[in-house]
Structure 1
Amino acid sequence: MFEQSRYVGSRSDRQSGPTPRNGSCMLILGIETSTEVCSVGLADEHGLVAERSVVESHIHSEKLLTLMADVLQSAGASPGELSAVAVSIGPGSFSGLRIGLSTAKGLCYARGIPLVAVPTMASVASSAFEEHDEWLSIVIALDAKQGEFYAGRFSRSTERITEIPVRVYPRDELVGMIRESDIVLTDVADGLQEEGERRRRVFHTRTFMSGATIALLGRQLFREERIADLQHIEPMYLKNFIVRTAKKA
């Protein structure tokens, strides 16, 4: 299990004046649980305040609430001071997305605050372009099981999806669409890597998945009043959930 913490400063370190409870400033909690990365970030109107991350499969239900409490405590903030909660909405792991969204909705209902849904791949693209100025075009491909991928292409010129829309692709179809100039970000690198130059242009998505990015993008969406319907919001699954039962002997 890999754990990482980032602390920039508490609200009292970064500003003076009334707390968000009085409506004078913004505090956004970001939740990322779409893959093996379980991460929580906190952003205010100035930028990132704090982040805690754990990378391990199947620990989201165990670790998420602890990470949330740790991030708020490190920032000297309380749940009652949050302006909104931002959550990575998918596509990704079915169970991870459900845990993240249900936790976010529970906090929003309890505190009477808005929910902001951040597309998972948009957050990965934003983080990747922020860290790598030389990258111009990236293809993000997340494991959808059974030889399929959730995938889309992002361009630096727009940081929006271009040419390849986000949907489910069979492996062979996706590989055929990847250009030599594309950087590939995936959580199953062995499924897309080839020998030679291609191998040096494939990177793991965990490097670019963070609650910090979700919080920062959520802050932007919150400012634009792009608020989710708390009652009806569902994860962006892109494919049907299949329940498998054990075969009888």
Structure 2
Amino acid sequence: MPKHFILQIETATQVCSVAISVDGRTLAFRDVDEPNVHASRLTLLVEELMHETGLSFADLAAIAVSKGPGSYTGLRIGVSTAKGLCYATALPLIGIDTLTAMAAGFVAEQSHPIHAGTYLYPMVDARRMEVYTGTYDHRLNPLKPAAALIVDAHSFSDLDTNQQVTLFGNGADKFEDLFAANEHVVVISHFKNSARHLSGPAYRAFLDNQFENVAYFEPYYLKDFVATTPKQR
């Protein structure tokens, strides 16, 4: 049975990440968690990973990219790179919802099964107290679509006694103190986006022939980009 190698790109947050998976399992990956490196490092990471695995683009079955929501600049660079590679190689393009990939990656990294009463909230920072988030149950079924949410102390106040929400991602870190005394809200700090989180979702999309139109595919920004003027120093 032939193996299906997929090149995966994740640039929705500050982390610049590339991975290669085989039949839904991560074969190798690179994560660089530094500000403003997507434009300068992304293609180099791709080259490094292809060399490390000994693969050529002819060996790949598809290219997958985290499509958002997330950083406007990061998504633009990631999607542009993925589309360019698809044009050059005639490989199909797979777009994976960033929050779905985060939820899948979070569940895969847990050493114990997640309780049935737990709701997962992957969060991407959208400045101040706002985040991009969606809701998933413990089996990764989506319950609420991606939305921009302003979080305060009264958020998640309608939970039953046997329910719990778990917040994770770079948007969740800032709420650690806010919910420290709330036993129904658990904040998992320092969870980082990674292209390896796309491995399972990308393979399932590949098997289902869920490919994007390379010519018309655009990132899912969720909100319009608003340019700001840098403050005078």
Give yes or no for TM over 0.5: yes
* Aligned equivalents of 1:177, 1:128: Cα separation in 2: 24
Which structure has greater helix proportion? 1
Query: Any conservation in 2 of the 1:89–1:120 contact (CA below 8 Å)?
Result: yes
The answer for the alignment partner of 1:105 in structure 2 is 83
Deviations 1:37-73 (A, max 9, x none): 1111111237221111111121111111111111111
Q: Does 1:171 align with 2:154?
A: no
Segments of 5+ residues of structure 2 without an aligned counterpart are none
Residues 63-212 of structure 1 correspond to what in structure 2 (within 5 A)?
63-132=41-110, 133-135=112-114, 136-157=118-139, 159-162=140-143, 164-172=144-152, 175-176=155-156, 179=159, 181-188=164-171, 189-191=173-175, 193-194=177-178, 195-197=180-182, 201-204=186-189, 206-207=191-192, 209-212=193-196
Deviation at 1:237, TM superposition (A): 0.7
3-state SS of 2:55 partner:
coil
TM-score, L = length of structure 1: 0.80
**Residue in structure 1 matching 2:200, options 207, 216, 219:** 216
Deviation at 1:178, TM superposition (A): 7.7
TM-score, L = length of structure 2: 0.85
Deviation at 1:171, TM superposition (A): 2.4
Letter in 1 for 2:168: L
Query: Any conservation in 2 of the 1:34–1:93 contact (CA below 8 Å)?
Result: yes
* Aligned equivalents of 1:125, 1:32: Cα separation in 2: 14
Segments of 5+ residues of structure 1 without an aligned counterpart are 1-16, 18-23
Which deviates more from structure 2 when the two are superposed, residues 214-223 or residues 229-238? 214-223
Q: CA RMSD in A?
A: 2.5
Aligned residue-pair number = 223
Identical pairs, percent: 29
* Aligned equivalents of 1:36, 1:107: Cα separation in 2: 22
Deviations 1:79-123 (A, max 9, x none): 232211000000011111011000000000000110000111111
